[in-house]
């Protein structure tokens, strides 16, 4: 279970100039995180635009990442999809390709009952022998995971953790307390990584880690050394960066543009997620320099 602790980059999508998934760019992006200190990658999630891609495209991403960094980083694959059938297919594929774990949000669009979400997750859990990590993100899925349903799912051996992207650190702590076993809780909102860690999170999975992985590793290291003042100072610097990233037409577009300034081309996000516009290039160039100086 130790390979699941620490910092995980929620990796962005990587497309070619035509907007098609680019194997070589996925590999290049994945490789760029190898010597940053992160424990692993969370792929095909929100930041990875998994739900905007076809199952075939998502499989390609998994294969490319495993081929490139599968031996050196822990790879968690998000398999959440609107139909249970598709998620099951992705779970089987993830296992075949040697990934470390699978994870999923509840299905979106339909208002689902607790029983429906439970069934949806259970089918994925049953579909492979891989560890499963619940992805709770009520503000985008509209599904609020209750503690009783959480406990029912978490008690299974295969269920090893939860990615808590809700903003309540109290609820985060309750998931940790109610798991009733050794259990990994990931902090979701990057801007309160320190808060989540102080309330019991074992690590974090985040999109903005993708443009500043070393900074999050450093906050994590400060926490482990009980240097809370230093951790707080750094988190505040990070938050001033995140605040500005959130002001662009899309966060993912802004982060992907910053990556391109460092020579890592990943294309623009897929619509309906907007790219940044040329008028934003200059301020993003300055922001990039600022990040590199922290």
Q: Catalytic residue among 163, 176, 218, 256, which?
A: 163
Nearer to ligand NAY, 82 or 113 (CB): 82
* C-alpha distances out from residue 151 to 59, 97, 128, 132, 165, Å: 31, 29, 21, 14, 17
Q: Is 135 a catalytic residue?
A: yes
Q: What is the DSSP letter of 198?
A: H
Q: Is 158 a catalytic residue?
A: no
We find the least distance from the C-beta atom of residue 186 to ligand NAY, in angstroms, to be 8
Q: For 279, what's the count of Cα atoms within 13 Å in the CB-facing half-sphere?
A: 2
Find out whether 213 and 9 touch, Cβ atoms under 8 Å: yes
The residues binding ligand NAY (CB under 6 A) are 10, 42, 45-48, 140, 165, 188-191, 205-208, 242, 251
Nearer to ligand NAY, 22 or 192 (CB): 192
Q: Catalytic residue among 15, 135, 209, 257, which?
A: 135
We find the least distance from the C-beta atom of residue 32 to ligand NAY, in angstroms, to be 17
Nearer to ligand NAY, 66 or 255 (CB): 255
Cα(31)–Cα(287) distance, rounded to whole angstroms? 23
Cα(44)–Cα(61) distance, rounded to whole angstroms? 8
Residue nearest to ligand NAY (CB): 45
* C-alpha distances out from residue 126 to 76, 87, 120, 153, Å: 17, 11, 10, 12
> What is the bridge-based pairing of β-strands 184-187 and 101-104?
unpaired
We find the least distance from the C-beta atom of residue 225 to ligand NAY, in angstroms, to be 24
We find the least distance from the C-beta atom of residue 50 to ligand NAY, in angstroms, to be 8
Nearer to ligand NAY, 18 or 246 (CB): 246
Catalytic residues: 135, 163
């Amino acid at each position: 279970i130790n390979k699941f602790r620490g910092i995980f980059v929620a990796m962005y999508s990587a497309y070619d100039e035509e907007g098609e998934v680019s194997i070589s760019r996925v590999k290049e992006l994945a490789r760029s995180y190898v010597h940053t200190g992160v424990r692993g990658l969370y792929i095909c999630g929100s930041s990875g635009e998994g739900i905007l891609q076809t199952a075939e495209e998502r499989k390609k991403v998994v294969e490319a990442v495993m081929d490139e960094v599968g031996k050196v980083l822990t790879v968690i694959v998000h398999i959440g999809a609107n139909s249970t059938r598709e998620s099951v297919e992705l779970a089987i594929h993830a296992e075949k390709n040697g990934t470390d774990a699978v994870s999923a949000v509840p299905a979106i669009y339909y208002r689902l009952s607790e029983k429906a979400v439970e069934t949806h997750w259970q089918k994925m859990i049953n579909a492979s022998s891989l560890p499963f990590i619940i992805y709770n993100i009520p503000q985008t899925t509209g599904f609020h995971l209750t503690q009783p349903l959480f406990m029912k799912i978490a008690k299974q051996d295969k269920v090893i953790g939860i990615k808590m992207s809700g903003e309540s650190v109290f609820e985060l702590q309750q998931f940790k307390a109610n798991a009733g076993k050794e259990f990994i809780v990931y902090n979701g909102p990057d801007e309160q990584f320190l808060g989540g860690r102080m309330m019991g999170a074992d690590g974090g999975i985040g999109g903005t880690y993708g443009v500043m992985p070393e900074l999050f590793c450093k906050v994590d290291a400060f926490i482990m050394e009980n240097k809370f003042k230093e951790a707080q100072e750094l988190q505040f610097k990070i938050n001033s960066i995140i605040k500005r990233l959130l002001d662009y037409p899309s966060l993912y577009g802004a982060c992907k543009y910053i990556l391109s300034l460092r020579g890592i081309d990943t294309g623009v996000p897929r619509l309906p997620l907007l790219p940044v516009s040329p008028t934003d290039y200059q301020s993003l160039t300055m922001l990039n320099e600022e990040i590199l100086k922290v």
